[in-house]
Amino acid sequence: MKFPLHTALFLFCLPLPGQRPADSPSEKITIEGTVVRAGSGDPLRKAQVVLQKAEGVEPARPLGAVTDDDGRFLITVTDPGRYILSASRNGYVHQQYGQRGPRRPGTTLTLGRGQRLRDIVFRLVPTAVISGRVVDEDGEPLPAVQVQALTTNYREGRRQLGQVSMTATNDLGEYRLYGLAPGRYHIRAVYTPGLSALVVIGNLMQQRFDDTAAEESYLPTYYPGANDPTQASPVDAAAGSEVRGIDISFHPARAVHVRGQLFNAVDGGPVRNGNAWLAPREAKVVGFSRVMQSQFVSPQGEFEIRGVTPGSYILLAHAPSKDGSRTYRGRLPLEVANSNIDGIKLLLNAGLDLAGRIRMEGEGRLDPEALGLWLQPRDQSQFGGEGGQVKPDGTFSIPGLAPGAYAVHVGNLPEDFYLKSARLGDEEVLEAGLDLSRFESAPGLLEVVVSSKGGRIDGVVSNDKQKPAGGAQVVLIPESRRRSRTDLFKSTPTDQNGRFTLRGIPPGEYKLFAWEDIERGAYQDPEFLKPFEERGHACQVQAGGAQAVELQLIQADESP
């Protein structure tokens, strides 16, 4: 039997029995709404609205839309799952759906096949501006001064100042910090007088200072003129405002220099192409521990750091090996008083080479090359961390590690996996940390075990009216003796229905909390957590186990 050609094509395109037509209109997920200006409600044209997958190790490509003249947008997606929806526009603060304030989490959207969300409204808040001038002790403008807007945040359980914006003064000493979310800021200026341009001599790059410069220094200064952030005057910036006249005046302070020579401990010769700097032992501002300008070292390994004010420091230095395959490092505690320090001799060691292997327990698929193994120094005076590339067979190596204690982390684990163990010989180092200061040579193999049998908790959060609390922040906190391990803390926002899921939980005892509003990372601060300890829902997580819980919301006005 023969069919006409158009009939044959029609039959070929029909779905098989039990198969849904691809991209059927009834299967599509649509999200529509408007973006308006907070306060006035005026529609915002040309706002960018983005829908991004909230789960998975590899983030999917986001979907987006641009609002029309009426501020309306429409996004269509075919893949069910958990999503984050956000909106942004030039001159306004970026905002996630359900977000209660800047640097707060938004509400995760759980979207099912064929679902349609209507009447989503973003009320974007206009950004603020802080401007002023920076002058010296004679009132003369200072160009090229770094000016920073700082706000308080939490880092590993400690409340500190952190940068949210930075700019530099022009030739008139003027600065303008724009794009700020409404809030309270500390304004900080950093200036290094007498610093000339970099001078290139062959392959040696060296920073030169004016030899006629007095032994005085301009300390980092907070508005209006304090050197200590606790003595600074905060600046309140309202939505859409420009706060003018935030002027900072520098005044020179008595300073000393630190001079010495760097040597290579391998052959005893002077270090070439090295670098040395001073870091305070106690950093008051996140990301600005290196208050002393880093100095390039002479061919004889000689270094000089000027403008040092009294205090407790760590002298740090590093230099590459001749073949560039490793880095030599040295560190020396230093107490600086009111006198110059000369004649320091610092040996830079090749460090320790650490080799190891990652292996998996349980079922599931794991791509070792996709993992990230990271050693994070527990000493805050050591910056950054050291990572190793994991090979297909799970082995890794990290050369030139400086002595000290490290926390072991494994990143990019699939969602049901967790870091189960890290052993150096017979010693488990996950809790106490990997202490390399005890070794003079390679410490042996680090055996890292990851397991696919992470626990799972599904739950729902209700408010005081026993209704689902969308956009609450759910936090899983380990028992007291294990709270030094930051990897055991887990957090997630509830979706629009008040539901949440936590996966890949290491076995152990925990408490679950649900806050209506909480600063990011505040739950790692013991003092913040103390008033809420009894509000936590105790739970025992078993390997590969799953449980369902119901949590009561901690209201925003209950926070201390």
pLDDT of residue 14: 38
pLDDT of residue 507: 97
Q: Has residue 222 been placed in a domain? A: yes
Q: Has residue 1 been placed in a domain? A: no
Q: Has residue 505 been placed in a domain? A: yes
Is the model's pLDDT at 8 over the cut of 60? no
pLDDT tens per residue, range 71-108: 999 999 999 999 999 999 999 999 999 998 887 889 99
Give the model's confidence band at 196: pLDDT under 50 very low, under 70 low, under 90 confident, else very high: very low
Least confident window among 359-363, 371-375, 385-389, 484-488: 385-389
Among residues of the chain, what percentage have pLDDT more than 90?
59
On whether both 243 and 156 belong to a single domain, the answer is yes
Of 152, 153, 146, 187, the residue nearest 170 (C-alpha): 146
pLDDT tens per residue, range 341-367: 999 999 998 888 899 999 999 998 899
Q: Has residue 10 been placed in a domain? A: no
Give the model's confidence band at 59: pLDDT under 50 very low, under 70 low, under 90 confident, else very high: low
On whether both 137 and 242 belong to a single domain, the answer is yes
Is the model's pLDDT at 469 over the cut of 50? yes
Give the model's confidence band at 437: pLDDT under 50 very low, under 70 low, under 90 confident, else very high: confident
Of 465, 500, 470, the residue nearest 99 (C-alpha): 470
The DSSP line for 295-333 is EEPPTTSEEEEEEEPSEEEEEEEEEE-TTSSSEEEEEEE
- 122 versus 352: the higher-pLDDT residue is 122
On whether both 331 and 361 belong to a single domain, the answer is no
Is the model's pLDDT at 197 over the cut of 70? no
Q: Which of 116-120, 197-201, 224-228, 349-353 has the highest mean pLDDT?
A: 116-120
pLDDT tens per residue, range 60-72: 678 999 999 999 9
What mean pLDDT is predicted for residues 373-386? 74
On whether both 131 and 249 belong to a single domain, the answer is yes
Give the model's confidence band at 19: pLDDT under 50 very low, under 70 low, under 90 confident, else very high: very low
pLDDT of residue 125: 97
On whether both 292 and 383 belong to a single domain, the answer is no
Rounded-to-integer distance, Cα 58 and Cα 560, Å: 38
Least confident window among 115-124, 146-155, 196-205, 331-340: 196-205
Give the CATH number of the domain where residue 82 resides: 2.60.40.10
On whether both 243 and 265 belong to a single domain, the answer is no
Residues contacting residue 374 through CB under 8 Å, at least 6 positions apart: 385, 386, 387, 408, 409, 410, 411
Is the model's pLDDT at 284 over the cut of 70? no
- 444 versus 37: the higher-pLDDT residue is 37
Give the model's confidence band at 260: pLDDT under 50 very low, under 70 low, under 90 confident, else very high: very high
Among residues of the chain, what percentage have pLDDT more than 70?
86
On whether both 131 and 248 belong to a single domain, the answer is yes
Give the model's confidence band at 15: pLDDT under 50 very low, under 70 low, under 90 confident, else very high: very low
pLDDT of residue 181: 96
pLDDT of residue 217: 76
Q: Which of 78-92, 202-216, 319-333, 424-438 has the highest mean pLDDT?
A: 78-92
pLDDT of residue 352: 86
pLDDT of residue 215: 66
Q: Has residue 18 been placed in a domain? A: no
In the chain, how many domains are there? 5
Of 493, 522, 560, 491, the residue nearest 153 (C-alpha): 522
Is the model's pLDDT at 514 over the cut of 90? yes
On whether both 93 and 158 belong to a single domain, the answer is no
- 396 versus 399: the higher-pLDDT residue is 396
On whether both 131 and 174 belong to a single domain, the answer is yes
Handedness of CA 392, 397, 398, 400 (dihedral sign): negative
Give the domain range for residue 445. 352-451
Q: Has residue 16 been placed in a domain? A: no
Is the model's pLDDT at 193 over the cut of 50? yes
- 362 versus 297: the higher-pLDDT residue is 362
pLDDT of residue 406: 92
Is the model's pLDDT at 5 over the cut of 90? no
Give the model's confidence band at 149: pLDDT under 50 very low, under 70 low, under 90 confident, else very high: very high
Q: What is the mean pLDDT of the chain?
A: 85
Give the model's confidence band at 496: pLDDT under 50 very low, under 70 low, under 90 confident, else very high: very high
pLDDT of residue 199: 29
Which of 350, 377, 406 marks a domain boundary? 350
pLDDT of residue 173: 97
pLDDT of residue 309: 82
On whether both 134 and 232 belong to a single domain, the answer is yes
Is the CB of residue 326 less than 8 Å from the CB of residue 319? no
pLDDT of residue 295: 56
pLDDT of residue 128: 98
pLDDT tens per residue, range 210-237: 443 446 778 889 999 998 888 999 999 9
Is the CB of residue 376 less than 8 Å from the CB of residue 466? no
Backbone angles phi, psi at 486, to 5 degrees: -65, -20
In three-state form (DSSP H/G/I as H, E/B as E, the rest C), the secondary structure along 204-225 is: EEECCECCCCCCEECCCEECCC
Q: Has residue 276 been placed in a domain? A: yes
What beta strand segments (E) does 386-541 contain? Answer: 386-388, 395-401, 405-411, 418-424, 427-428, 434-435, 445-451, 455-462, 473-478, 490-493, 499-505, 508-515, 537-541
Give the CATH number of the domain where residue 516 resides: 2.60.40.1120
Establish how many alpha carbons lie within 13 A of residue 12's alpha carbon, considering only the half-sphere containing its beta carbon. Answer: 7
Of 64, 65, 26, 71, the residue nearest 44 (C-alpha): 71
Which of 417, 451, 485 marks a domain boundary? 451
On whether both 432 and 314 belong to a single domain, the answer is no
pLDDT tens per residue, range 262-279: 998 877 888 888 888 888
Q: Which of 156-165, 187-196, 517-526, 545-554 has the highest mean pLDDT?
A: 545-554
On whether both 264 and 335 belong to a single domain, the answer is yes
What mean pLDDT is predicted for residues 417-440? 91
Q: Has residue 23 been placed in a domain? A: no
pLDDT of residue 17: 41
Give the model's confidence band at 121: pLDDT under 50 very low, under 70 low, under 90 confident, else very high: very high
Which of 451, 474, 493 marks a domain boundary? 451
